[in-house]
Chains A and B, each alone.
Chain A
């Protein structure tokens, strides 16, 4: 079974630029999560989707972050404009249902300079 795929693996941008990350979850997984992991800390949930609907986006900085999962499969996370403090690893995870094990992708490491 293929795992959660994320791209790109690494991205370096200047502050105030825009960036987008892509996630392809495990086939059949209805729940998809985006996490932000700052170096040395545990992951922090940004947004959770159930199919193509948003379940929880309470910690998503909506003035600059947006995410979508239009067809209930792939998802994109966008930051516009980026700030220095957005430098982190962005992890995508998926699970078959909202209360089953979440499987993580390798993450996208974003550096904002």
Chain B
């Protein structure tokens, strides 16, 4: 069964600190993995997409990594800001363009 597991479920950090969110998946075959940011009351917005051959990709203060062998991805946020408070959802595209969503990590950045 295709599954995407994210950890931690929730996280509280102080403004300016770094954090890393984890995503483990069992989706096979693998097409790509995308990290979304979902602000409260809004729809998810794509941060970055990782394909099989990519190990690291950055988007500003967000850096995603992918290890296709171990089927793990991480999202690292550097120098967190209050506006980073949101849910971060890992989504894996598999066979037939099926998307499998993780449960998300709820991040709260405190001043």
**Contact size class for A?**
10 to 19
Tell me which residues across on chain A come within 8 A of B111, comparing CB atoms.
none
Among A91, A101, A105, contact of B46 (Cβ-Cβ < 8 Å): A101
Secondary structure class of chain A's binding surface, majority of residues: loop
Check A102/B42 contact, CB under 8 A, given A41-B104, A42-B104. no
Tell me which residues across on chain B come within 8 A of A41, comparing CB atoms.
103-104
B1-22 interface bits toward A, Cβ cutoff 8 Å, 1 = contact, 0 = none:
0001000000000000000000
Q: Are B99 and A42 in contact (CB under 8 A)?
A: no
Interface presence of B110 (CB below 8 A):
no
Query: Chain A interface (Cβ within 8 Å of chain B)?
Result: 4, 40-45, 56, 91, 93, 98-99, 101-102, 104-107, 109
Q: Are A104 and B43 in contact (CB under 8 A)?
A: yes
